[in-house]
């Protein structure tokens, strides 16, 4: 969660109360409004607590929505790349949103579009391979592509990361993950494979599962599969179900994550009135908000989180 820059006195106070701040049980954190998109990140290590508080990331802004960096800080670096993750980290944001798909040879990669045209030089490198779908290329072939020059010359040579590489980077940066399973209908079994990679990289241990990970999708069936296979994992549905249908979604998900243009304060209140799959208030994270006026508007709806390409703009607007 983003936190305002702390003064020396605030840091001192936070250090004195670090245990109380960081070690609130997840259910209490949710009810008190101090958790993040998946629940406030907790760690029982004193060293970790002190380091986190000094970095000011664990000091919550009461009542403010969580700011989630959409595909990383993608207004300032090429989306879904490690550069975008690092840029978000530099700006002081913990929650990263990303997209996962599968290559021809079964490797999970982080990219949004189902084809490689918009964000890589695939048409130049493989001119005869139209329509350049992600699923038609091997991981080694995708690793050859330049995924940064389209954005800015200084990012030339940036690569499409594998999910494993992406997880390593956000772990190194001490960040959290809102992971979208993209177009699951094109990748049968991707839910199980995503969970396998998360497990291999340590992201399905209790600490990550409870406080640092959310898996979402536009596909209700995909989210149901995740919930069935790992009922402990926090899940989110991307979309705006009718209010009458929210109860049915709450049986298998913890978040309703709709487009900002599709919601109102009444809709958010209807979601909040329900308990999600883990018995906590159904949360609402809205997307994709990139300007201050819209950020203030949805903040007035009392959303729990705002997904944005410009996290610094949203942070200032809702601070």
How far apart are alpha carbons 111 and 102 in whole angstroms? 9
| Backbone φ, ψ for residue 84 (5° rounding) | -70, -35
Burial class (CB in 10 A: 0-12, 13-18, 19+), 221: exposed
| Backbone φ, ψ for residue 180 (5° rounding) | -100, 125
pTM assigned to the model: 0.83
What band does 29 get if pLDDT is binned at 50, 70 and 90? very low
How far apart are alpha carbons 250 and 236 in whole angstroms? 10
Least confident of 49-58, 67-76, 98-107, 255-264: 49-58
3-state secondary structure of 101: strand
Catalytic machinery residues: 70, 112
How far apart are alpha carbons 90 and 20 in whole angstroms? 27
**Which tokens in the block code for residue 277?**
């799959």
- The answer to whether the beta carbons of residues 308 and 68 sit under 8 Å apart is yes
Q: Which has the closest alpha carbon to 21: 66, 55, 63, 52?
A: 52
| pLDDT tens by residue, 273-317 | 999 999 999 999 999 999 999 999 999 999 999 999 999 999 999
């Amino acid at each position: 969660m983003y936190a305002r820059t702390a003064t020396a006195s605030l840091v001192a106070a936070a250090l004195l109360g670090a245990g109380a701040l960081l070690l609130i049980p997840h259910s209490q954190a949710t009810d008190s409004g101090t958790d993040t998109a998946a629940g406030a990140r907790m760690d029982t290590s004193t060293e970790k607590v002190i380091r986190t508080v000094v970095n000011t990331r664990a000091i919550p802004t009461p009542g403010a929505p969580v700011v989630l960096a959409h595909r990383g800080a993608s207004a300032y670096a090429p989306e879904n790349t490690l550069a975008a993750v690092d840029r978000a980290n530099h700006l002081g944001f913990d929650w990263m949103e990303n997209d996962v798909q599968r290559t021809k040879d079964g490797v999970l990669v982080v990219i949004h579009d189902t084809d490689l045209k918009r964000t890589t030089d695939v048409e130049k490198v493989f001119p005869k391979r139209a329509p350049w779908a992600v699923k038609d290329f091997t991981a080694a072939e995708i690793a050859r592509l330049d995924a940064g020059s389209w954005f800015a010359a200084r990012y030339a040579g940036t690569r499409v990361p594998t999910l494993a590489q992406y997880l390593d980077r956000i772990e190194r940066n001490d960040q959290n993950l809102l992971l979208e399973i993209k177009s699951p209908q094109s990748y049968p079994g991707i839910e199980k494979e995503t969970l396998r990679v998360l497990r291999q990289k340590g992201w399905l241990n209790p600490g990550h599962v409870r406080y640092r990970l959310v898996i979402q999708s536009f596909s209700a069936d995909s989210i149901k599969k995740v919930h069935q296979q790992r009922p402990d994992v926090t899940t989110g549905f991307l979309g705006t179900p009718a209010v009458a249908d929210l109860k049915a979604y709450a049986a298998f998900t913890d978040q309703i994550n709709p487009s900002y243009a599709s919601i109102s304060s009444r809709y958010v209140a209807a979601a909040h009135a329900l308990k999600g799959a883990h018995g906590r208030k159904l949360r609402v994270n809205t997307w994709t908000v990139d300007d201050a006026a819209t950020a203030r508007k949805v903040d007035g709806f009392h959303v729990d989180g705002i997904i944005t390409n410009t996290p610094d703009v949203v942070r200032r607007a809702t601070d």
